């Protein structure tokens, strides 16, 4: 094919630029803009987003083999067989898997830091009997971030190898700030002998603490937020095995427990909408992970999954879950010490250890939330720096 008109329509450089910008303006403004170039991610959260925090602070409580077997081929600080949603988020921006702030051993923070630890809550939470919560609740995670910001620059200014391990100053305003926290505030209530109504009634205060932490991080210069809501807690073996008489829905999930999670999510969504109104400079995205997670239980076959309510790595009962021994723990069975290992094919399973999801499930959820189909405003992950 020839291009005979090429010389005829030879625009000078300036006018082709003008032409380009006209085209850009007439297209849908969101679609026409380039993807966000997040140079770093700062994450806050609990076990669903812990990439090594608890394991660094309390090695005895960190995940043991077979955690990590699918992807990292060793325990990698994650309560899963492989990658978490936050890993897939980082990967999608070409950043390395998030490193934990608490990991003091040769850690590279050049593309951000992860303040999440397993067992973290939004509000400070003392342990309940055998059930332990992390001392690193959201307010502590914020204060660690507050320390990280100037200290990282102090180290960076020493130059050389030090500089390559720390984020640049401008990354703090350009970074994506991600959150996945709240589930443990609900479990603390459920296991602390509160009625469901009492737990439900505590939600507005939990959300108030959540938003005041977001505000504090915003005041430190953060501008792009990606905030996960909480998942269908009533579908987890942890809840199903402990509250056996709770009414089940058609897929076998504990209905009332899921309703409390939904109430948390409604409150969170409202609070984020309000935050957006009050802070016009923020690009803040509410991410509904509840819906894609719930569809893993309601329609497992669609994603190639089986036995969605049964833990792959656990022990005992209809849900393969026990309060007395977890994944990687050791239990005496008929007088013989037996290590709780994993099922044959974690890749076709939803739940890893009774509380956390498999890498395969995390990937399905990531694919769905990153598309923009489950976010408010409805923008894909790669556009999460754009203000509405
Ligand atoms: C830290 O990671 C960044 C980005 O991947 C890389 O450029 C830098 O060389 C790393 N620093 C060290 C000491 O490995
Ligand atoms: C909850 O109630 C049970 C039974 O009444 C009791 O054994 C347990 O210690 C209580 N737990 C808390 C955290 O109060
Ligand atoms: C939870 O509380 C809200 C009010 O904040 C109410 O609308 C909702 O029905 C309650 N849900 C449950 C499950 O109790
Ligand atoms: C333990 O012993 C009981 C009774 O002898 C037997 O039914 C059961 O299968 C044994 N369990 C295992 C895991 O070997
Ligand atoms: C339950 O966990 C055990 C490890 O203790 C594993 O071998 C088994 O395959 C799991 N069961 C199911 C149905 O996944």
Atom in ligand 2 nearest the alpha carbon of residue 128: 13
Does residue 12 lie in a domain region? no
pLDDT (tens digit per residue) in 148-192:
999 999 999 999 999 999 999 999 999 999 999 999 999 999 999
Q: How far apart are CA 293 and CA 357, in angstroms?
A: 9
Separation of CA 352 and ligand 5 centre (Å): 10
Q: Which of 29-38, 143-152, 218-227 has the lowest mean pLDDT?
A: 29-38
Element (H, E) at 339: strand 336-339
pLDDT (tens digit per residue) in 335-356: 999 999 999 999 999 999 999 9
pLDDT for the residue numbered 131: 78
What is the average pLDDT score of the chain?
92
Domain residues for the domain of 128 are 34-304+357-383
The answer to whether residue 19 is domain-embedded is no
Cis peptide before 214 (omega within 30 of 0): no
Higher pLDDT, 32 or 331: 331
Mean pLDDT of 224-244: 98
Query: What does the pLDDT read at residue 159?
Result: 96
- Contacts for 247 with CB less than 8 Å, ≥ 6 apart: 254, 255, 256
Instruction: Band the pLDDT of 126: cuts 50, 70, 90.
Output: confident
**From the CB of 194, is ligand 2 less than 6 Å away?**
no
Closest listed ligand to the CA of 206: 3
Considering the domain boundaries, does residue 327 fall inside one? Answer: no
Please tell me the distance from the alpha carbon of residue 256 to that of residue 262, in angstroms, as a whole number: 10
CB of 32 within 6 A of ligand 4: the answer is: no
291 Cα: distance to centroid of ligand 3 (angstroms) = 19
- pLDDT confidence of 130, banded at 50, 70, 90? confident
Distance CA 254, CA 297 (A): 12
pLDDT digits (tens, 9 = 90+) for 274-325: 999 999 999 999 999 999 999 999 999 999 999 999 999 999 999 999 999 9
Q: In the chain, what are the helix, strand and coil shares in percent, each to the nearest 5? A: 45, 10, 45
Instruction: Establish if 319 belongs to a structural domain.
Output: no
Q: Tell me the average pLDDT across 117-130.
A: 91
263 CB less than 6 Å from ligand 3? yes
Residue that wins the pLDDT comparison between 270 and 333: 270
Confidence of residue 34 (pLDDT cuts 50, 70, 90): confident
pLDDT band for position 110 (cuts 50, 70, 90):
very high
Q: How far is the CA of 256 from the centre of ligand 2 (A)?
A: 20
Angstrom distance (rounded) from CA 119 to CA 54: 8
Per-residue pLDDT for 9 more than 50? Answer: no
CA distance 363 to 82: 10
End-to-end CA separation in angstroms for the chain: 44
Is residue 24 in a domain? no
User: Ligand 5: which of 67, 319, 320 to mutate, judged by most atoms within 8 Å of the beta carbon?
Assistant: 320
Q: What is the CATH number of the domain that holds 373?
A: 3.40.50.1110
Confidence grade of residue 33 (pLDDT, cut at 50, 70, 90): low
Kindly report the protein residue whose alpha carbon is nearest to atom 4 of ligand 1: 110
Residue to probe by mutation, ligand 3, list 195, 200, 261, most atoms within 8 Å of CB: 200
User: Rounded mean pLDDT of 79-103?
Assistant: 98
- Domain assignment present for residue 331? The answer is no
Tokens, residue 361: 């499930």
Q: For residue 97, which ligand has an atom nearest its CA?
A: 1
Query: For residues 330 and 344, what is the distance between their CA atoms, to the nearest angstrom?
Result: 19
Residue 210 lies inside a defined structural domain of this protein? yes
Asked if residue 26 belongs to a domain, the reply is: no
Active site residues: 47, 353, 356
Does 333 sit in the ligand 4 pocket, CB within 6 Å?
A: yes
Segment 226-254 mean pLDDT: 98
- 203 vs 26 pLDDT, higher one: 203
- pLDDT tens digits for range 40-68: 999 999 999 999 999 999 999 999 999 99
pTM of the complete model beyond 0.95:
no
Domain count, the chain: 1
């Amino acid at each position: 094919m020839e291009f005979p008109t090429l010389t005829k329509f030879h625009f000078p450089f300036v006018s082709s630029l003008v032409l380009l910008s006209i085209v850009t303006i007439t297209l849908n403004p969101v679609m026409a803009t380039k993807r966000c170039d997040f140079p770093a991610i700062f994450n806050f959260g609990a076990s669903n987003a812990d990439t090594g925090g608890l394991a660094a602070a309390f090695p005895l409580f960190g995940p043991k083999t077979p955690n990590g077997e699918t992807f990292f081929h060793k325990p990698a600080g994650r309560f899963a067989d492989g990658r978490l949603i936050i890993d897939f988020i980082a990967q999608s921006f070409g950043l390395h898997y998030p490193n934990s702030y608490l990991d003091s051993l040769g850690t590279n923070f050049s593309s951000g830091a992860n303040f999440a630890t397993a067992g973290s809550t939004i509000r400070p939470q003392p342990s309940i009997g055998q059930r332990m919560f992390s001392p690193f609740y959201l307010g502590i995670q914020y204060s660690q971030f507050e320390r990280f910001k100037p200290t990282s620059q102090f180290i960076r200014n020493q130059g050389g190898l030090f500089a390559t391990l720390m984020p640049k100053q401008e990354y703090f305003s350009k970074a994506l700030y991600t959150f996945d926290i709240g589930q443990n505030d609900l479990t603390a209530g459920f296991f602390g002998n509160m009625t469901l109504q009492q737990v439900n009634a505590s939600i507005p205060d939990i959300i108030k603490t959540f938003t005041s932490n977001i505000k504090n991080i915003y005041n430190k210069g953060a501008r792009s937020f990606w905030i996960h809501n909480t998942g269908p807690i009533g579908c987890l073996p942890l809840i199903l095995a402990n509250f056996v008489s709770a009414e089940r829905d058609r897929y076998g999930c504990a209905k009332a427990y899921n309703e409390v999670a939904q109430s948390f999510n409604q409150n969170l969504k409202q609070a984020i909408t309000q935050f957006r109104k009050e802070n016009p400079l923020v690009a803040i995205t509410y991410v509904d992970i509840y819906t894609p997670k719930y569809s893993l239980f309601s329609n497992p076959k669609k994603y190639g999954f089986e036995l969605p309510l049964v833990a792959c790595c656990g022990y005992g009962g209809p849900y393969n879950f026990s309060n007395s021994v977890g994944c990687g723990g050791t239990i005496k069975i008929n007088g013989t010490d037996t290590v709780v290992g994993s099922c044959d094919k974690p890749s076709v399973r939803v739940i890893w250890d009774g509380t956390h999801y498999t890498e395969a499930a995390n990937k399905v959820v990531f694919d769905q939330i990153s598309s923009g189909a489950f976010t408010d405003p409805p923008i894909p992950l790669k556009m999460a720096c754009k203000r509405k």
